[in-house]
Amino acid sequence: MAAIIDGKAIAKDIRTELKEEIDAMKAAGTTPGLAVVIVGDDPASHTYVNSKEKSSKEIGIYSEVHRFPADFTEEALLEKVDELNRDKNIHGILVQLPLPKHISEDKVIDAISPEKDVDGFHPVNVGKMVIGKDSFYSCTPYGIMKMLEKEHISLEGKHVVVIGRSNIVGKPAALLSLMNNATVTICHSRTKDLAAITRQADVVIAAVGIPNYVTADHLKPGAVVIDVGINRNEEGKLCGDVDFNSAKEVAGAITPVPGGVGPMTITMLLYNTVKSAKAFAAK
Ligand code: NDP
């Protein structure tokens, strides 16, 4: 029976540490500031943004949310980003994705100053990560690394199999694992005999987007299983990419959904905002 990795508790500990750091920064004259921009009325995106605003405020980050209607133009959005790039009270800028179809996400991400790109999506930050330099790392995979670190699970010399190759989860999870000296395999929708590969893994990171895709049959006994998925099953209940009930019988440690990777993602956004504010304060 696997140990359950409590992402919620780990996230809470990190947020407490961050709050102490922010209190000290405020005493020294700097308040970390985060600006979130949202365009359109996608309910899930609004829920995420509200949660980011609430979490920021809870630990003392100055937070502003800029909400625009679905017909907001690309030009106006780029102007807003430019204004925030120059705003001295703002250290982190996040544009909530997805954006309406008439706006190019690439153009908008490129317009965010890499120094304020706390989501870690700007090509400059992605490039730095690829060459093993410090930068803002994408919050979900970075949260996974922090979670493993806090659980004293070292990736050094381990075989990490990442399922999924998206730019925001799969690819950066693979690169950060590599940075932590793991041997890394990336699987995706064209991978042949995926279970034979995942059965060789010491650590499986599942970022597929298919409910209960990874089962006990995919796992080596004792493997660490990180479930990134946020899906709804047929009954509309929240579930991950891993069939938790069967996997926990084989795995050595496993993250639940909810309460695993999810709480770490926003925590790393706050972490990156504080990191950015510290870098600006040191200039
Ligand atoms: P994407 O849809 O962008 O990527 C999914 C990846 O899974 C793709 O690389 C795809 O391969 C691969 N894939 C699809 N089907 C299969 C299959 N049958 N076998 C193997 N690989 C397959 O999703 P994201 O990376 O954005 O998100 C993944 C999951 O994580 C989702 O459930 C999402 O909701 C969740 N998520 C959770 C977050 C959190 O905070 N916990 C944050 C972000 C995402 P290919 O490239 O070949 O198409």
Specify the fold of 139-262: Rossmann fold (3.40.50)
CA 249 to chain centre: 27
Confidence of residue 136 (pLDDT cuts 50, 70, 90): very high
pTM over 0.95: yes
Q: Is 164 in the pocket of ligand 1 (CB under 6 A)?
A: yes
Q: How do residues 93-104 score in pLDDT, each as one tens digit?
A: 999 999 999 999
DSSP H helices, the chain, are 7-27, 43-58, 74-86, 105-111, 123-130, 139-150, 170-179, 194-198, 244-247, 261-281
What type of residue is 71?
Answer: D
Known active-site residue 52: yes
Q: Please compute the mean of the pLDDT values over residues 167-187 and round it to a whole number.
A: 98
Mean pLDDT over all residues of the chain?
A: 97
Q: Is 128 in the pocket of ligand 1 (CB under 6 A)?
A: no
Residue ranges per domain, the chain? 29-113, 139-262
pLDDT number for residue 190: 98
- How close is the Cα of 207 to the center of ligand 1, in Å? 4
Which of these is catalytic: 117, 119, 241, 243? 119
Q: Look up the CATH number of domain 29-113.
A: 3.40.50.10860
Q: Is 170 in the pocket of ligand 1 (CB under 6 A)?
A: yes
Query: In 3-state terms, what secondary structure has residue 104?
Result: coil
Q: How do residues 217-252 score in pLDDT, each as one tens digit?
A: 999 999 999 999 999 988 999 999 999 999 999 999
Q: Please compute the mean of the pLDDT values over residues 152-160 and round it to a whole number.
A: 98
Topology alike, domains 29-113 and 139-262: yes
Q: Please compute the mean of the pLDDT values over residues 273-277 and round it to a whole number.
A: 98
pLDDT number for residue 219: 98
Q: How do residues 51-62 score in pLDDT, each as one tens digit?
A: 999 999 999 999
Which of 146, 188, 227, 255 to probe ligand 1 with, by most ligand atoms within 8 A of CB?
188
